[in-house]
Amino acid sequence: MLCLFATRMHIRKYRGCAVELAELLVKVQYDQGRDKLVFVGDLVNKGPNSPQVVQIAMRTGACVVRGNHDDKALAAYRKGYLRNRSFQALPSSEQWVEALKPDEAAFLAELPFTYAIPSHGLLVVHAGMVPNKPKLLQDWLDIYMMRNVDMAPSASQTEEQQDSTQYTACPLTRGVPWASKWTGPDHIIFGHDAKRKLQQYQYATGLDTGCVYGGSLTACVMPIVLQTPYFEKMGPDAPTLADLSAELVSVPARQRYAATT
């Protein structure tokens, strides 16, 4: 974990599914005084208990990266607030934001796009990172919206150049999952891609298992780095989940809360 007294770290994905989140915390034996929670974004929207999920994240001191649905909810909140708190004019799917308290809206507004965990060689994002592109040059829109990449127009595809091929984000109708081309330098933990469900690549792990669509809620649980094989072999290569002694834990959705889009 990130604190000396902590022994485990939990990284998970959810979207307004507070009941399932509570069940998952029990299943992984979460201890707030010992463990650290990290969320891959989209705390809210579509699920039945969005405000409660925000409250859980705040109460536990969780680290949360910004998701596109978090921003969508925040935009709706601001729109209703600027209309003298007239939220009834919002689309029905957004009217729940009236229940957000000012400090909860402020919490959403301050979410970062990335969260680095250097001790474990991890980078947490909502959607993805363009392979072979320096971190500082990544586009924030790609970081919380991208699913697929394709070779950049000027890129070649020879085997000798494969490690330096230039990619660009592209629509789902083209390209391949960005995570399938990711080679480091960090292991990426991400969400955003429920249709593909659990994604397990060598250096990237997707945790969106579609709880809001009737699937499941998934957490990646790992010990402090001193208790992992990665501590003995730290080097330039990104770690795998096996290197980090990580365990994937899920609970099923209580019901289907929204139709897939």
Q: Is the pLDDT of residue 3 over 70?
A: no
Q: Does the structure show a pLDDT above 70 at 180?
A: yes
pLDDT at 83 over 50: yes
User: Which residue range(s) make up the domain with 100?
Assistant: 8-127+179-252
pTM of the model: 0.90
Q: What is the CATH number of the domain that holds 78?
A: 3.60.21.10
pLDDT digits (tens, 9 = 90+) for 185-229: 999 999 999 999 999 999 999 999 998 899 999 999 999 888 888
Establish if 216 belongs to a structural domain. yes
Q: How far is CA 165 from CA 154, 161, 184, 208, in A?
A: 9, 6, 14, 27
Q: Which range, of 32-41, 58-67, 83-92, 242-251, averages the lowest pLDDT?
A: 83-92
CA dihedral of 154, 159, 163, 164, whole degrees rounded to 10: -20
Rounded Cα–Cα distance for residues 10 and 3 (Å): 13
Instruction: Decide if 162 is inside a domain.
Output: no
pLDDT, one tens digit per residue, over 41-60 is 998 887 778 888 899 899 99
**Beta strands 204-206 and 187-190: pairing type?**
parallel
Write down the H helix ranges in the chain: 18-27, 50-59, 68-82, 102-109, 140-145, 230-233
pLDDT at position 1: 26
Number of H helices, E strands in the chain: 6, 13
Residue 167 within any structural domain of the chain: no
- 150 belongs to a structural domain: no
Read off the tokens for 160: 């000798």
- Asked if residue 1 is part of any domain, the answer here is no
At which residue do the structure tokens 């595809």 appear? 157
Q: What is the pLDDT of residue 6?
A: 36
Residue with tokens 């292991």: 187
In the chain, the number of structural domains is 1
- Portion of the chain with pLDDT greater than 90, in percent: 58
Q: Say how many C-beta atoms besides its own lie within 10 A of residue 112's C-beta.
A: 13
